[in-house]
C-alpha cells in the first residue's frame, strides 16, 4: 500500500497583522482612556464635583494611556491616609481595571475593521 504524502504550506502574515495593530492602536488606547476616565469619575468621591470633573486621559502615542487628575487631594482620595483617618476609594484603579474584557473585545473588533 502506497503512503499518501500531505503537504501544508504555511504563510506568514505577522507583518500585516502588526501593521494593522499599529493602525488601530492609538484609537484603541483613546477609547480605553475615555471609558476608564468615565468609570473612575463615576466611582470618585463627590462633594463639589471638582474631583469627578477633573479626571481625564492622555494617550502616549502608540505606547500607553494615562488616566488621572491634577487635583491636589486626589492621591488621598485614591489611596487614603496612612493614619487611617481617610480610607482609599481606589476610583482610578477601579476605572482602569473594571472593563478589561471589554477592552480586549474592542481590540478584536477594531482589528477586524469594525
Choice between 17 and 60, residue whose per-residue pLDDT is larger: 60
Burial of 82 (0-12, 13-18, 19+ CB in 10 A): exposed
Q: Which whole number is the average pLDDT over 34-39?
A: 97
d(CA 30, CA 57): 8
99 domain-assigned: yes
17 domain-assigned: no
Split at pLDDT 50, 70, 90, the class of 13 is confident
* The model's pTM: 0.81
| Domain span at 65 | 22-111
Handedness of CA 106, 107, 108, 109 (dihedral sign): positive
Q: What domain count does the chain have?
A: 1
3 domain-assigned: no
16 domain-assigned: no
pLDDT computed for residue 114 by the predictor: 64
2 domain-assigned: no
Which percentage of the chain shows pLDDT scores above 70?
98
42 domain-assigned: yes
Amino acid at each position: 500500500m502506497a503512503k499518501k504524502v500531505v503537504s501544508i504550506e504555511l504563510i506568514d502574515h505577522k507583518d500585516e497583522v502588526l501593521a494593522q495593530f499599529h493602525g488601530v492602536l492609538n484609537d484603541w488606547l483613546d477609547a480605553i482612556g475615555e471609558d476608564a476616565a468615565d468609570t473612575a469619575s463615576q466611582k470618585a468621591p463627590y462633594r463639589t464635583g471638582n474631583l469627578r470633573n477633573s479626571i481625564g486621559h492622555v494617550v502616549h502615542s502608540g505606547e500607553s494611556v494615562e488616566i488621572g487628575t491634577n487635583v491636589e487631594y486626589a492621591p488621598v482620595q485614591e489611596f487614603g491616609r496612612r493614619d487611617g483617618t481617610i480610607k482609599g476609594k481606589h476610583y482610578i484603579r477601579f476605572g482602569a481595571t473594571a472593563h478589561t474584557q471589554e477592552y480586549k473585545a474592542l481590540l478584536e473588533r477594531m482589528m477586524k475593521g469594525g
